[in-house]
Structure 1
Amino acid sequence: MAQNDIGIDLGTTTIIIAQEGKGVVLNQPSVVAVDTRKNSVLEVGDKALAMVGRTPNYISATFPLKDGVISDHTMTRELICRFVNQVYSSHMVKPRVAVCVPAAITGIESDAVVEAVVAAGARQVYLIDEPIAAALGSGVDITIPDGRMIIDIGGGTTDIAVLSLGGKVKATSVRVAGNHYDDEILKHVRAKFNIAIGQRTAEELKKHVACCPQKADFNETMEIKGRSLLTGLPQRINVSTSDLYEPVMMLSEQIGVAAHQVLEKTPPELAGDIYRNGVMLTGGGAQLHGLPEYLSQELKVEVTVSPDPVNCVALGTAMSLSLGDKLETGFTDATPRIGRRH
């Protein structure tokens, strides 16, 4: 891979940029703060995230990616341009850029990704499916005739794929992922305790308290602060692991069903490989307590978490540019806009 090649994990909640040999060179929230009076961008990334819920009404902090795809083209272009310029300073040679996308992305959605990356200064753009990038970044050799199953749980989507000989054999994408856990926890706390909490508090509960009940030895409690729906005044309460079983299991079951359906359609020889190799969990959502145990129980195979679940997609995306000839499907030369399958 040339030194000016970069890989981008264009996530719903986080954008991670990696370079082969250097690892992750940028990790920033996918958020933009805009002054609506002047229609100008104030901040992006960490600085914009710090403004969420704490700004005057004329400052809008928005996430321009939704469920793994672009919902606001202009703001996504702004994000990518600023972040690429942070990590790539040469004005002489434009970089080759690989971007990971959900396995079920449509042609229109992939065109929007390509346009945004070209606007950031890329000379060539490649698209790689998230499960393939996740496998590469986790150290899985998918170029050999040996079935591997990846479940990549991001912020907006969960991508599930059976891989072998450098390509996808079976795959699906479901719009149930980390952000949906946050939303359901927020709604559940509101209904159960009559207290309104913010999105960031819900995320903290997911990370530190939430757990699938299959992990019986995990039991945590966290004090949270919010606004009472009964009095309208500030209130603090303690939320325990058992309090959150309902929303956690509702969404985990949907991921389990989708994974089960992919396995049902997998050819018998590859299914045997998966039984021997197990299933690899990747993405930020893979860190949910008890999820590997739950999925292992549902799929009847061992489920393990990637050594670096958060960064593995970006790392694999960066690696893909030097492995393109070995990737049979799921890796597209999208330059200029019409893809070319390897």
Structure 2
Amino acid sequence: MRILGQDLALDLGSASTQIYVRKRGIVINEPSLVVRSGATGKLVGFGAEKPVQTGEDEPEAIRPVSGGVPVDKELTRRMLRHFLRKVHGHPWSRPRMVFALPSDATGMVRDLLQDLAYQAEARRVYLVQHGLAAALGAGVPVRDAAASMVIDVGCETTRIAVLSFGAVVCAATVQAGGADVNRALAAQIRRDHGLDIDEHAAELAKRSIGTAWKPVRRKASVRGHDPGGRGAAIVSISAEQVYEATKQPVRAIVRTAVRCVESCSGDLAADVADRGVVLTGGGALMRGLARRLRAELGVPVQRAERPIEAVALGLGRCVDDLGLIGKDLAPTRR
């Protein structure tokens, strides 16, 4: 059994990769990063590892996944093998794996995810609809006839799903997420103060004073550097600036959610209006987002108890009981 490996679920995200092991819970939650040496081109780190920097070598951090889909197959494979070795330790482990399948995934993407899993030494692969996994992890009663809606706000992509009778009956994807707010905020600071800030600084500011609802009078200090090479500087930004940066991504999410509901039957749309929406994903943590969506959509909106881990937890429920979803959880075969 040690060689076969324990069954596991893998949530492959743009920002982080989470691995759930059967009966143990989430054991890996690390950034989806591969670090390559600028001098030699060799891979020197994965995930949360901090590579040793020598001399003038400046390591390059690469995100091989975008919107839950590998954009660099080889780097994603190497990263997954690294994470799985940390879980199992045994180089010959052949676990059964459950992956989340994006609702808009093409046959090519489906084949790519399967191939990655088998190359990572899976002995059998299961693909579960992303919206269904998010709903299961958020505790949504997916088997009910009455429809429920889940909005998963990720780093670069927001996925919306309406579920009924244990299946996704309507799904939509919008290319908007937490990273868009960071980029908009960085563009504002560049325009207003002539400074460049990195993704980490923008994320800290967003978490500190960010709000998607009417901003309060709060400020935060952000460290940036002059693109002209005149050194670093610290500027003060307001909650109003962060609020402005959220407008376009939130509008895109609202428009897509409305279209998704409108494409449902009258009965399902009435169910969503009654039951409301559950928010998952890292973007759900932004203050005021649920309140703003509630005002825009006109339905109740609440955040899942563990929004960042919702998809991994939902996939984990499938791992703990592979018969949970019946025919919708049929294994893929090579």
Q: Report if TM-score (shorter chain) is over 0.5.
A: yes
1:264 aligns with 2:262: yes
Structure 1 residues 207 and 101, CA, compared in 2 at 3 Å: closer, same or farther? farther
Unaligned runs of 5+ in 2: none
Runs of 4+ in 1 over 6 A off after TM superposition: none
Deviations 1:132-182 (A, max 9, x none): 111101111212212110000111211101001111111111111122222
Give the superposition deviation at 1:301: 0.5
After superposition, the Cα gap between the structure-2 partners of 1:229 and 1:166, relative to the gap in structure 1 and judged at 3 Å, is same
TM-score of the superposed pair, with normalisation by structure 1: 0.89
SS at match of 2:49: helix
What is the count of residue pairs matched by the alignment?
Answer: 330
- State the distance in 2 between where 1:55 and 1:102 align: 42
Q: Is 221-230 or 78-87 further displaced after alignment?
A: 221-230
8 A contact 1:151–1:280 mirrored in 2: yes
Pick the aligned partner of 1:307 from 301, 305, 308.
305
Higher mean alpha-carbon deviation, 25-34 vs 62-71, is at 62-71
State the percentage of identical aligned residues: 28
1:167-246 superposed matches below 5 A:
167-214=167-214, 218-229=216-227, 232-246=230-244
For 2:82 and 2:261, how far apart are their aligned partners in 1?
41
Checking the alignment, whether the CA contact within 8 Å between 2:6 and 2:22 is kept in structure 1 is no
Counterpart in 1 of 2:245? 247
The answer to whether the aligner puts 1:287 opposite 2:289 as a matched pair is no
| Equivalent residues of 1:100, 1:129 under 8 A apart | yes
C-alpha displacement at 1:91, in angstroms?
5.7
**For the residues of structure 1 that align with 2:76 and 2:283, how far apart are their CA atoms?**
23
| Structure-2 change in CA distance of 1:272 and 1:49 (3 Å) | farther
- Is contact 2:185-2:241 (8 Å) kept? no
Q: Measure the CA separation in 2 of the matches of 1:284 and 1:334.
A: 29
92 and 190 in structure 1: CA distance in 2 versus 1, 3 angstrom threshold: closer
Residue 281 of structure 1 and its aligned partner are, at CA, apart by 0.3
| Equivalence for 1:27 | 29
- Distance in 1, matches of 2:330 and 2:190, equals 44
Distance in 1 of aligned mates of 2:311 and 2:209: 26
| Residue pair 2:85, 2:91 contacting (<8 A) in 1 also | no
Contact 1:167 1:327 in 2 (8 A): no
Deviation, structure 1 residue 60: 2.1
Contact (CA 8 Å) 1:280, 1:304: kept in 2 or not? yes
Q: Does 1:128 align with 2:128?
A: yes
Q: Which amino acid aligns with 2:267?
A: E
Gaps of 5+ in 1: 337-342
Q: Rate the CA distance shift 1:282–1:220 in 2: closer, same or farther, 3 A.
A: same
How far off is 1:37 after superposition?
4.8
Distance 1:49 1:202 in 2: 24
RMSD of aligned residue pairs (Cα, Å): 2.4
Specify the alignment match of 1:94 in structure 2.
94
